[in-house]
Each structure stands twice: as structure tokens, then as C-alpha cells.
Amino acid sequence: MTDEGARPGFARTQRILEAAYVCVARFGLAKTTIEDVAKAAGVSRASVYRAFPGGREDLLRRTVVWEMDRFFRDLAAAVSGAPDFATLLETGLRFARRAVREHAVLQKVLVTEPERLLPLLTTEQHRPLRYITGYLRPFLDREQQAGRLHPGVDPSLAADYLARMLLSLITSPGRWGELDDPAAVRSLVEHELLGGILPAEAPGGEPGWAAGPPRM
Amino acid sequence: MTVRQVLEAERPPGAAVTPPWWGLVPPGGELATGEAASASGTEARILAGALACIARYGVAKTTLDDIAREAGCSRATVYRYVGGKEELLTRLVRAEATRIGREVMAAASAAQDLTEALVAMAVTAARALLGHEALRFVLAHEPEAVLSFIAFEGGDRFLARCADALAPTFARFVGPQHAGRVAEWCTRVLLAYLTPYDAVPLDLTDPDDARRLISAFVLPGVARLAASPAPDARTPTTT
């Protein structure tokens, strides 16, 4: 963030994205115009086009990405400091599901304009996958170095598996309801998610196992 | 008429019973109606023609004339056998979903153990979906039609439906107590690895890759679950 912040025009781009997000919340994806966004951001239309040469579609796509970034930064902050890997996953699942459920703009647009939002989310689906795999990989490497990973487990495939399944659970929890029952979520993490990756262990955490700062 | 509208017409809001569009197979095995199997030769040819047209032009741009030409019959014949475009698309989606669901079930039922069942299901589903030209066109150009049914709440419904259909198959291997939970998880795994747009590190159409995924990540959790003494009463089923 700091080196990006120093780039000229970054602050203006951020302001436009924020304004676009507010417009989408208010008018929806279909009705948000460049004009609205320029007005809300207090900049000229030309400035919006300069920052987003692809026009409206470009701006909307980047707005979705911008909000996804914020979501995953919050998620990373929520799980930092977890005492062990299983707890990190449990905390992350419960936090992320609650954040999806309580995300007023996401929920509104999912109801009013799913046909516009879903393709945007899906074509950008590699981003959350990359975030989650990138975030989990160092932890899996650490487990491997500590000799805790199941023999033969490839940390990169394991990170990919966990990322896909976490994303699936966060968006469509299915039988897991709202992922707000700690005992059920612990069982899910210990069996379906980590069954092939880590041996079952008593909760309580590893000494010195602090989740550390998010790496994104 | 878009695919989305067809699918929605097929799925009454709030329907708790298995909606017909993703017909799959009801618990117990045989299909209730055998829609696809009972299709007459002409109807089957019309449906095949429609699939070919959608693979080429997409749903929105396919006309009944295109389908009639492709099927080698008149437009009047298309009307007589399958009605208008809306009815035709409804039948097409149902027939395809039923056909693929049936293939996946058949692949699993021939297996001797859970590993073989899962590998067979994964490979069958992957080949059917990734090789489905009409579906690929729709996903690439009209994705909203399909996504509403596999993402967010649509995903919840899809998972519940598939888990209901597959639970009896899984009960053979993991017992009735965990069958629903395992069936949903396995469906979820396949869905997560077969969705478009992201680079998948494993190719599930390849039995070796499918086996690698299943034996490394899915089976150990199922085995741990089957060995767990306490019943997992804490996982409510959603409808």
C-alpha cells in the first residue's frame, strides 16, 4: 500500500473507486453512469476516463476487484494471531461467512442484478483464489518444516485445495448453515478440510505458532 | 427467452422438493420419468440439433429455424414435437442434466470401494461437463444463465439437490449416518475443481489426477469422520 500510495494519481483513482462503489450501492450496476461517479468523486468525467480508459465496464470491474481486495484484507486481519492452523481456518471461515452475509451491497446486488454481478465475480474468481493460496502457503510450508504435514502432501496442491473449498464454503455453505456453530465448523475443518493435510490434534495451539502478519 | 428464464421457470421459488430441471436421480435409483430415454427418435434428433446450434450460436441467437435445419426436419415438426423455443430449452436442459447425472451415478454404482466410486464420478463429471460444447459456449458468452444456479444461494440449492441424489450411493461406503455430509462434500469438491475461469492444477478428466486429488485430500477426511465416535448431529441440512 505505501509504495502504491506514493504513485501520482493513486489517491484520485481510489477516490473514484470509492465513489463508484457508493453509486453501485445506491443505483445498482446497470444504472451507474460515469457521470454519477464523476459527480460523487468530485472530479471531471475526463478524469474518470483517464483513470479507467476502458470506460464504464472497466470501472465496474475494477470496483468489484477493489471491494474484493478490501474484503480479503479484513479477513487476513481477522485471522492474524490464531494459535494454530486449524484455528486460523475456523476463524477465517466464520468471519468470512459473516462478512458475506452482512455485506449489504453484495447481498442487494445479488438479489437485484445477479445476471450482471455473477459474471463479474466469476471472471475475477482467480483473485480470491490467489489471495487465499498465497496467504495459506507460508503456513503450510511452516507445518511441513515442523514435520507436521502428512507425508507426501504437496503444500502447493494443499493450499489450492483449501482455497477452493474455503471459497466454496464462504459463498455457498450448504448444509453448514451460516458457519456460525463453532463445534460444527471445528468438525468441518478437522475432517473435510485438514483430514488429508494435518494430523488431528487437540485444540489449544502450538507454542510459538502465531499467525503473524498477513502476506499479500 | 434466455437459459436463465428457462431454468427459473423450471425452478418454482421456494420449492423444497427436487426441482425437475436438475433432475438427476431420486434416492433409490431409477429415474422417475426417464424423460430422455422416452424421447422419440425425432425428438431426440431435435434436441441434438438444438444442442449443436447452442454450441455454435448460443441460446439467445438460436432460432427454431436453425434447429429445424440442423435436425433435418421442418419448423412445424419442431413445434409438434417440442413446442416453442421455451419448451424446447426446458426439455433440453432437463434431458442433459438427467443424462449427465445418470452417467455420474452409473459410474459410481459400478465401483467396489469409495476411492473407485469417487474417481469414476470425478472423471465422468469432468468429461461430461468440460467436453460439453453447448455448456462451454453458454459459460463463455452467456454465463449469467448458469452461474445463478451454482453460485451463492443457487450453489446451496445445487449442493442440496446433488447430495440428496448421491447420498444412497455414499451410504454403501460410509454408512447412512455420514452419507449426506460426505455426498455434499464430494459434490462441492467436484464443483470447485470444475468451475470455469480459473487455472486448475489437476485435470479431473485424467483418472490419475482425479485419484491424486481424492486420495490426498478427500478420503482421509472421510475416513477420519467414519472413525469418529460422536455422531455429527451438528450439521443441519438446509433446504
Return the minimum-mean-pLDDT range out of A97-106, B66-75, B143-152.
Answer: B143-152
pLDDT of the residue at B196: 63
Per-residue pLDDT at B216 exceeds 50: yes
Per-residue pLDDT at B183 exceeds 90: yes
pLDDT of the residue at A201: 66
Per-residue pLDDT at B238 exceeds 60: no
List the single best residue of B115, B187, B190, B198 to mutate versus A (max A Cβ within 10 A): B198
* Cα of B76 to nearest chain A Cα, Å: 33
List the single best residue of A29, A106, A117, A118 to mutate versus B (max B Cβ within 10 A): A118
Given an 8 Å threshold on Cβ–Cβ distance, is A196 in contact with B216?
A: yes
Per-residue pLDDT at B130 exceeds 70: yes
Given an 8 Å threshold on Cβ–Cβ distance, is A174 in contact with B160?
A: yes
Contacts A–B by Cβ distance under 8 A: 130
Residues of B with CB below 8 A from A172's CB? Answer: 151-156, 158-159
Residues of B with CB below 8 A from A122's CB? Answer: 143, 147, 151, 195-197
Query: B213 is written with which cell numbers?
Result: 486429488
* Closest in A115, A154, A191 to B4, CB measured: A115
pLDDT of the residue at B200: 86
pLDDT tens-digit series, residues A40-81:
999 999 999 999 999 999 999 999 999 999 999 999 999 999
Q: Which chain B residue's Cα is nearest to A175? A: B237
pLDDT of the residue at B198: 63
Cβ count near B171 (within 10 Å)? 17
pLDDT of the residue at B226: 86
* Cα of B62 to nearest chain A Cα, Å: 20
Q: Which chain B residue's Cα is nearest to A115? A: B144
Average pLDDT of the residues in B18-37: 36
Given an 8 Å threshold on Cβ–Cβ distance, is A196 in contact with B235?
A: no
Per-residue pLDDT at B235 exceeds 80: no
Give the confidence band of A124 by pLDDT, cuts at 50, 70, 90.
Answer: confident
Given an 8 Å threshold on Cβ–Cβ distance, is B201 in contact with A160?
A: yes
Percent of chain A with pLDDT over 90: 80
pLDDT of the residue at A6: 53
- Whether the CB of A156 is below 8 Å from some CB of chain B: the reply is yes
pLDDT tens-digit series, residues B158-180:
899 889 989 998 999 999 999 99
Per-residue pLDDT at B17 exceeds 50: no
Q: Which chain B residue's Cα is nearest to A171? A: B152
Return the minimum-mean-pLDDT range out of A113-127, A192-206, B3-17.
Answer: B3-17
Per-residue pLDDT at B144 exceeds 60: yes
Residue A67: phi and psi, rounded to 5, are: -70, -35
pLDDT of the residue at A105: 95
pLDDT of the residue at B95: 85
Per-residue pLDDT at B229 exceeds 70: no
Given an 8 Å threshold on Cβ–Cβ distance, is A156 in contact with B195?
A: no
Average pLDDT of the residues in A169-192: 96
Give the confidence band of B19 by pLDDT, cuts at 50, 70, 90.
Answer: very low
Of B194, B184, B148, the closest CA to residue B164 belongs to B184
Strands annotated E in chain A = none
Percent of chain A with pLDDT over 70: 89
Per residue, the 3-state secondary structure of chain B, as one string, reads CCHHHHHHHHCCCCCCCCCCCCCCCCCCCCCCCCHHHHCCHHHHHHHHHHHHHHHHHCCCCCCHHHHHHHHCCCHHHHHHHHCCHHHHHHHHHHHHHHHHHHHHHHHHHCCCCHHHHHHHHHHHHHHHHHCCHHHHHHHHHCCHHHHCCCCHHHHHHHHHHHHHHHHHHHHHHHCHHHHHHHHHHHHHHHHHHHCCCCCCCCCCCCHHHHHHHHHHHHHHHHHHHHHCCCCCCCCCCCC
- Whether the CB of A191 is below 8 Å from some CB of chain B: the reply is yes
Give the confidence band of B141 by pLDDT, cuts at 50, 70, 90.
Answer: confident
Residues of B with CB below 8 A from A160's CB? Answer: 201
Percent of chain B with pLDDT over 90: 50
- Whether the CB of A53 is below 8 Å from some CB of chain B: the reply is no
> Contact B150/A168 with Cβ under 8 angstroms?
no
Per-residue pLDDT at A216 exceeds 70: no
pLDDT tens-digit series, residues B54-63:
999 998 899 9
List the single best residue of A61, A123, A124, A175 to mutate versus B (max B Cβ within 10 A): A175
Cα separation, B95 vs B114, whole angstroms:
28
* Cα of A37 to nearest chain B Cα, Å: 25
Average pLDDT of the residues in B148-154: 85
* Closest in A114, A152, A195 to B224, CB measured: A195
Per-residue pLDDT at B228 exceeds 80: no
Given an 8 Å threshold on Cβ–Cβ distance, is A171 in contact with B152?
A: yes
